[in-house]
Every structure is written in structure tokens, then in C-alpha cells.
Amino acid sequence: MKHLRYLFLLLVVFTLPTFAQVELENIEDDDDSNVADSAMVDTLQNDSVALPWPQGIQHKLSRLANSVMFKTSQLGMMVYDLDADSTIFCFNEKQLMRPASTMKLITAITAIDKLGGDYQFKTELCYTGKVENHTLKGNIYCVGGFDPRFNSDDLNAFVEAIQKMGVDTIIGTLYADKSMKDDKQFGEGWCWDDDNNVLSPLIISRKDIFMGRFLEELRKRKIVVNDATIDDGRRPADAYCIVNRFHTIDQILMRMLKESDNLYAEAMYYQIAASTGNHPASAKSARAVERRLVEKIGLIPSQYKFADGSGLSLYNYVSPELEVKMLRYAYENDNIYNHLNQALPIAGVDGTLKKRMKGGFASGNVRAKTGTVTGISSLAGYCKSANGHTLCFSIINQGLIHGRNGRAFQDRVCTVLCSPN
């Protein structure tokens, strides 16, 4: 048995010489680089072994999975044929690994499943008291709903709503109602030296400077705010709400997935949490919803570790099998898939895949979420095979010193999946 294993390793080494050489040459990592070694793909395309579907793909993926790069790094991979309802390829598919930003797929699927495709991210303006002689004798409440897209135009709408009431003077306090979520500013397991946005439910232009900007805009419009007192406080039940600004779940998903925006992902995570009715919303509540979905798709929730919605956390541990089962669940539910699929980056076209897989069989075909943190590179999503079948896949490369090697490997896998045998 040992002799057979030794002979197999020799075969792998001698059939993959170019790839091994390039691995040694990649001594620097550049996350923005489009540098990718295509020699391995060429070798596979020139392979003289002609096998029927899906054996041809399985043969090529087996060769890739046994590359010498995995002497110093780990691979977890699973490919599933959604039309044939069968697994095409597995390699360490149950291995727990850090998903990086492919965690956003799990967040997105859970959110659409729980919240629905017509869900809105809202920020409201309310007041108490009475308006007499153009003066509001009462308090203003800006009620945060963790909308990461809230911007200057939305803030202008708030101020204009006050003007339309005929108010030019406010005698009272400006309150920031941040009660929608807990007071944790960052996710669990986030690195202390990362430059991350504060997770506040009341933000403008991605920053926790809402009330200062609001007061500034009031003054620009010649609305007098006596003493200009700003405080935190929850909107009372008898407050009148005069305007709300909202963005749709599709608007949030588009940037969250196409551009891999961490703030948008965390905002989505806290919408999941808020939907449970727990107040204030917490990551713990979101995790409970995720676990119920994991159980629904036939896996055991306690075998995985969920920490945040974006994949920044060092505490997330999932498996390629889990990601594939999530993608299968989404595909089988049109209400989820239609929202998810349009927001995924397209290879060679847009988002975080714009510079990858250009010009080959995978270009314009693969729709997938990328993931990159130190030591991790991942890719999970959908593609069409040459026989017209829709496939879903998850690839997690872990223990990488040079992230572009992981991306090059994933691109090769996708090329194999999309190419004729």
C-alpha cells in the first residue's frame, strides 16, 4: 500500500511540474493583482484522457486537488450538480475552515429566507410636543434602523420634512434612538488593528456622525435649535413619525456581495437579529436564526461556529459542505435565488471577480462570492457546465502565504467546471 501511495505521489509531481515551479516563484502577494498562472489549466486542457461527463471533470479536479501547493496549505472543496441532484466532487468537504467573505453568502441566504425579498432598511424621523407659531416645543427623534446606505440626500429629506411643518425653531432635545441594536461597536473576533466601520444603527455615509450632521443641516436651513442639546434616547410610544427613508434588501445585497462590503453585511446580520423580536438586536439572535436554517438543510448546527455576518471574525468556522448545502437551498427556492443570483459578482465582468477568469469558458459564466483574509482565500457560488447543467461549488484555501495562489487555483477549478470535456 505504501508503495502504491509513493507511486501516486510521483505521478502527481511529474504531471504538474509547471505549477510547482510557479508556486516557488510567488514570493509576494498582491490582493489587487490579476496575476495568475495559467499553465495548470493548459496542462489539463491538453490532457489526452477523454472521459464522459462527469468523470472527465472528476479526473481533472482530482489532479488539481493533489497539487504540491497542498503540502503547505489546506484545501476544502465540494461541487454539486443541481440538475442531476448529485455530488460531482468532494475533497475535505466536511473540514471546518474559516470562510472569509464567503460567510456573506450564508448571511445573505439566511436574511432573504427570514426577511423576504421586499424587506426594507428604514430610518425614521419623529417628534413629540406641539407646533405653535412656527416653533416646535418638544423633542426630535432620529430612529436608526441600521441602513448602511443612508446618505446626504436622505438627511436633506429629514430637514425638509421639518420645514414643511412650518417649523423654524425647535425648543427641545435632539435624540439619537439607537435602541435597534446592542451597543457593541465591532464584531466578535475582529482584529483590533483593522480599520472597520462602527456598527451603529444610526449612521450617515457609513460613519457614526449622524446627529452632528443633522444639527449642522438644520442650522444651514435657518432652523434654530435652542441650546442645541443632543442626547441618546428611545422614541416614546406617542411620538409622531413624519418621514422615513428606506433602501431595499436588493440594494443592500448588491453592494454587500458584488463589492464584499463588510458594513452592509453586518447591517444585514442585525436585520436578521431584529426580526426575532429581541430588543436590542444582537449577533447572538442572528446566530440563532442561522442555526435553525442549518438544521433545516439537514446539518447539525453545533458542528459549526458563527460569529458575524461579514466573515471578518477569526471565530467563524464552516465547511464547504455547509456552503454548498446553503447554495442548494437557495437555488431550490426562487424567492431566495432570484435576489441572491443577481447580486453575486460575475467572473470577468463586475464586482470582486471583474479582473478574474477573463476571456475563458468561465468568463461571464461563474457567479460567486469571493473571500480573502490573511491566510485564507475562498470562492463559492454557481456556474453552468458545458452540458448545460447548473453547478454550485465551494472552494476554501487555508494556510496560504500568498493569496493570489489560492485565487489562481480557484480560477482553474472554475475553468474546468465550465469547459467542454
Average pLDDT, the chain: 90
Other Cβ atoms less than 10 A from the Cβ of 411: the count is 25
Q: Which of 152, 157, 189, 169 is nearest to 312 (CA)?
A: 189
Indicate the pLDDT class of residue 193, thresholds 50, 70 and 90: confident
**CA within 13 Å, CB half, 18:** 10
d(CA 243, CA 264): 23
Rg of the chain over Cα atoms, rounded to whole angstroms, equals: 25
Give the pLDDT of residue 19.
34
Read off the pLDDT of each residue in 220-229 and give the average, rounded to a whole number. 89
Top-ranked range on mean pLDDT: pick from 8-17, 35-44, 304-313? 304-313
d(CA 402, CA 380): 19
The alpha carbon of residue 160 and the mean position of all alpha carbons in its chain are separated, in whole angstroms, by: 35
Give pLDDT tens digits for 293-305: 999 999 999 999 9
Q: Which of 192, 185, 230, 191 is nearest to 207 (CA)?
A: 185
Read off the pLDDT of each residue in 126-139 and give the average, rounded to a whole number. 96
Indicate the pLDDT class of residue 78, thresholds 50, 70 and 90: very high
Give the pLDDT of residue 287.
98
Give pLDDT tens digits for 239-275: 999 999 999 999 999 999 999 999 999 999 999 999 9
In terms of pLDDT, which residue wins out, 186 or 13?
A: 186
Give pLDDT tens digits for 16-68: 333 332 232 232 344 444 443 333 434 444 555 678 889 999 999 999 999 99
d(CA 330, CA 339): 10
Q: Which of 312, 371, 340, 323 is nearest to 249 (CA)?
A: 340
Give pLDDT tens digits for 315-330: 999 999 999 999 999 9
Cα–Cα separations (whole angstroms), residue 248 to 153, 200, 339, 352: 16, 19, 11, 22
